[in-house]
DNA sequence: GGGCGCGGTGACAACGTTGTCAGCCTACCG
DNA sequence: CGGTAGGCTGACAACGTTGTCACCGCGCCC
């Protein structure tokens, strides 16, 4: 910038004014400076700018589990789009469900002075973020609540959705319902399981531990669990799967056996209408979820100081034929 | 930092040394400084650090079409993982296939002094990046070549893959092969179409324009095109689809009509084995593609100055039964 | 005993930008 | 014709950190 100033025969400050097209600069000088800048290949240093002005790195951080997962990729896409509307770039970091790594990444993002953070938490303690929040970095939690920190949060109605799904199976006459979940350690899984239990209890159907399978990581594991349950005495006549990876495995196994057991799955997925039997699922609007969080964040960034909110978005039972 | 120094009764520089755990500091002072830092809630300012030291923002930029697309999400995941191994964060920006937006985003990333860039180009002229490259910002192009700029590039063997796919259809006896593609404006589509033509020419099969459909954006469009082609005289007996979104539409339409027309699709996809007929596809290792680019980038970042390379990764014909 | 090397520390400038303020000039008003 | 308001410009400090260099004191060697 000092070089540009010398070349244009003006002061450093005038160059700064031109670059930021501030008012009160003669057109003639503007032209001279611009010419000098392009001749010298001037490249503004965004770092120095945000260092000096103290705020506005025009960057927000998004912390998720795994960017390659379509759910998070959708979220990232929406957040990036909202960010773009605010002329802001997005740093995306994946925690891989590791609380320690999550903390490291969040601290790193803060040390980069991001204007705000959207976090899908992996850990259970986010108290370490309190200083940052108090010093003015807004944080919005997405899909799961924060631990030990009062902050804006946008959630799905996991419990209500699961309740509706299991209720539907019960209405169709099922009493032995196999429930498959990823990990009871994950907030959404706990909520969904609670919802399923709500529905069972409300219908006076007993909750049988043998019908609940935890720790199912992938479609293969799901298929194996289904096979095992079906091969035992008093097999389930219906299945409730708590996420779409599991649902996929259940579908595969049922199809392999030509079983007509009922199935309701949490999470919709793109090819749900293409698989052998069209699937009944608990669907929700992932994009709306992300958009809500992102818009809330940018409200905070632009200074809305109201009390932290928790927003719960609805889920919907989409019937496509496998509930009966 | 100056506050920490005062509190610990040492100089500013000693604090800096402790924070960066530089050698030659008495353990006693280290402890005092660390204590003071935590008491005051010291938060290192990464911006100021990279401004002063001139290099090492520990950030790389990834420019893709659309983060919500699974192909790019996979790439982003791999790049983020490689970046993490180098203690580097990732700024992801989506060009939405808009060359102007691409340029704006790349300039913005450069003004943030990222350590390097991985670009899936949307535009055709990247000469504007030359000053940045010359000033030491490595750029690796991914999946499509750069325009007007000599730079590292990692590509797929689109042409070879398409050639193999069409050749397989020809071997199965097909002579009228419907070819469906997104947009001839996209590099990969042109390459794949060229490969298809190679195979047709090599087999002495005439290239009929009526059998090629351009501008197919989504599965619905693909289904409509297939329907139209099948309803005309001399319909194709086989289809070659140039990306997986199109393939999905073709599958739907063929299934709807219970047609047993052959189909080979470019791009594998997760549920390729679940759809009504298991699909024969041209597959490739997206993760390897991304990993190659990311590792090449970090080689450059750490100073490997050799001549820009172009790496072409192979594709593979995966037969699952729809080629005949 | 003087010189030398080295571990340990601090003063100071610098990175590239922007905020503050002072100062210039012109125009306009009384 | 003096005063003043306001458009326009520049000098300077500051943002928070790190690189450079100088300095001090100690132990060691000749």
Q: pTM for the full model?
A: 0.91
User: What domain count does chain A have?
Assistant: 3
B164-216 pLDDT per residue, tens: 999 999 999 999 999 999 999 999 999 999 999 999 999 999 888 999 999 99
Residue A247 domain-assigned (yes or no): yes
pLDDT value at residue A279: 87
Residue A25 CB in 7 A reach of strand D: yes
| Surface-to-core class of residue B178, CB atoms within 10 Å of its CB (0-12 exposed, 13-18 middle, 19+ buried) | buried
A178 with A204, same domain? Answer: yes
Same domain, B258 and B294: no
Chain centroid to Cα A28, Å, comes to 50
Q: A264 lies in a domain?
A: yes
B17 and B123 share one domain: no
Three-state secondary structure readout of chain B: CHHHHHHHCCCHHHHHHHHCCCCCCCHHHHHHHHHHHHHHCCCCCHHHHHHHHCCCCCEEEEEECCCCCHHHHHHHHHHHHHHHHCCCEEEEEECCCCHHHHHHHHHHHHHCCCCEEEECCCCCCCHHHHHHHHCCCCEEEECCCCCCCCCEEEEECHHHHHHHHHHHHHHCCCCCEEEECCCCCCHHHHHHHHHHHHHHHHCCCCCCHHHEECCCCCHHHHHHHHHHHHHCCCCCCEEEECCHHHHHHHHHHHHHHCCCCEEEEECCCCCCCCCCCCCEEEECCHHHHHHHHHHHHHHHHCCCCCCCCEEEECCEEECCCCCC
Q: Across the strands, what pairs with A263?
A: A239
Strand D closer than 7 Å to the CB of A242? no
Quote the mean pLDDT of chain A: 93
For residues A31 and A176, membership in a common domain is answered with no
CB contact under 8 A, B67 and A50: no
Is A112 close to B89, i.e. CB distance below 8 A? Answer: yes
Q: According to DSSP H, which parts of A20-127 are helical? A: 27-39, 46-53, 70-85, 99-111
pLDDT above 70 coverage of chain A, percent: 99
Binary contact (A73, B92; C-beta < 8 A): no
What value does the mean pLDDT take over residues A30-49? Answer: 92
Flag whether B86 is in a domain.
Answer: yes
pLDDT in tens, B35-61: 999 999 899 999 999 999 887 899 999
Option in A47, A131, A252 nearest B50 (CB): A47
Q: In this structure, what CATH number is given to the domain that contains residue B16?
A: 1.10.260.40
- Using the beta-carbon criterion (under 8 Å), do B68 and A78 form an inter-chain contact? yes
> Is pLDDT at A91 greater than 90 in this prediction?
yes
pLDDT digits (tens, 9 = 90+) for B270-313: 776 667 778 899 999 999 999 999 999 999 998 888 899 999 99
- On whether both A278 and A164 belong to a single domain, the answer is yes
B126: domain CATH number is 3.40.50.2300
Same domain, A27 and A119: no
Instruction: Tell me which residue has tokens 């700018």.
Output: A49
A25 pLDDT band, cuts 50/70/90, is confident
**A120, A262: one domain:** no
Cross-chain CB nearest to B68 (options A73, A94, A110)? A73
Q: What is the pLDDT of residues B90-107, one digit of tens each?
A: 999 999 999 999 999 999
CA distance B81 to chain A (A): 8
The mean pLDDT value for B63-77 works out to: 95
**Residues B213 and B226 reside in one and the same domain:** yes
B16 touches strand D (CB under 7 A): yes
Residues of B in contact with A81 (CB under 8 A): 94
**Residue B111: per-residue pLDDT:** 94
**Is B50 part of a structural domain of the chain?**
no
**Could you tell me the two tokens for A33?**
């400076």
Please compute the mean of the pLDDT values over residues A215-225 and round it to a whole number. 95
B178 and B251 inside one domain: yes
Q: Does B47 touch chain A (CB under 8 A)?
A: yes
Same domain, A275 and A201: yes
Average pLDDT over residues B233-252: 94
pLDDT at position A21 is 84
Task: Determine how β-strand B262-266 pairs with β-strand B280-283.
Answer: parallel
Co-location of A65 and A82 in the same domain: yes
In a domain, residue B324? The reply is no
Distance CA B240, CA B12 (A): 67
Highest-scoring range by mean pLDDT, A190-194, B15-19, B51-55: A190-194
Whether the CB of A26 is less than 7 Å away from nucleic strand C comes out as: no
- A32 within a domain of the structure (yes/no): yes
Is B131 in the A-facing interface, judged by CB distances under 8 Å? yes
pLDDT tens digits, one per residue of A240-277: 999 999 999 999 899 999 999 999 999 987 776 667 77
* Residue A110 reports pLDDT greater than 70: yes
Buried b / exposed e over A204-220, threshold 16 CB at 10 Å, is: ebeeeeebbbbebeebe
Average pLDDT over residues A126-155: 95
pLDDT at A56: 83
A90, B90: Cβ pair inside 8 Å?
no
Q: Considering the domain boundaries, does residue A12 fall inside one?
A: yes
pLDDT at A48: 94
Q: What are the structure tokens assigned to A241, written together?
A: 């799967």
Residue A39: pLDDT above 80?
Answer: yes
Judgement on whether residues A112 and A89 belong to the same structural domain of the protein:
yes
Q: Judge whether A302 lies within some domain.
A: yes
C-beta neighbour count of B303 within 10 angstroms: 8
Residue A13 sits in which domain range?
2-44
């Amino acid at each position: 910038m000092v070089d540009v100033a010398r070349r244009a025969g003006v002061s450093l400050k005038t160059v700064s004014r031109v670059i930021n097209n501030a008012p009160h600069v003669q057109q003639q000088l503007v032209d001279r400076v611009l010419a000098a800048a392009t001749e010298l290949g001037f490249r503004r240093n965004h770092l120095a700018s945000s260092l000096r002005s103290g705020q506005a790195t025009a960057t927000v951080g998004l912390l998720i589990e795994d960017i390659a997962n379509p759910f998070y990729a959708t979220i990232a896409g929406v957040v990036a789009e909202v960010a773009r509307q605010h002329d802001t770039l997005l740093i995306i970091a994946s925690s891989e469900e590791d609380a320690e790594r999550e903390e490291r990444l969040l601290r790193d993002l803060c040390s980069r002075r991001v204007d705000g953070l959207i976090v899908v938490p992996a850990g259970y303690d986010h108290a370490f973020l309190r200083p940052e929040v108090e010093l003015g970095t807004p944080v919005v939690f997405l899909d799961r609540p924060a631990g030990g920190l009062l902050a804006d949060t946008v959630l799905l109605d996991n419990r209500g959705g699961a309740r509706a799904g299991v209720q539907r199976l019960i209405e169709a006459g099922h009493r032995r319902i196999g429930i498959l979940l990823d990990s009871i350690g994950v907030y959404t899984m706990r909520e969904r399981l609670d919802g399923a239990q709500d529905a069972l209890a409300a219908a006076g159907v007993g909750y049988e531990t043998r019908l609940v399978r935890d720790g199912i990581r992938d479609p293969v594991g799901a298929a194996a669990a289904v096979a095992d349950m079906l091969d035992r005495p008093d097999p389930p006549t219906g299945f409730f799967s708590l996420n779409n990876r599991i649902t996929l495995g259940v579908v595969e196994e049922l199809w392999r056996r030509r079983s007509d057991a009922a199935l309701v799955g949490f999470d919709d997925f793109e090819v749900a209408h293409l698989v052998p039997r069209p699937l009944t699922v608990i669907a929700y609007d992932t994009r709306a979820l992300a958009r809500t969080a992102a818009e809330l964040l940018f409200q905070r960034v632009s200074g809305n100081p109201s009390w932290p909110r928790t927003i719960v978005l609805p889920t919907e039972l989409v019937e496509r034929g496998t509930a009966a």
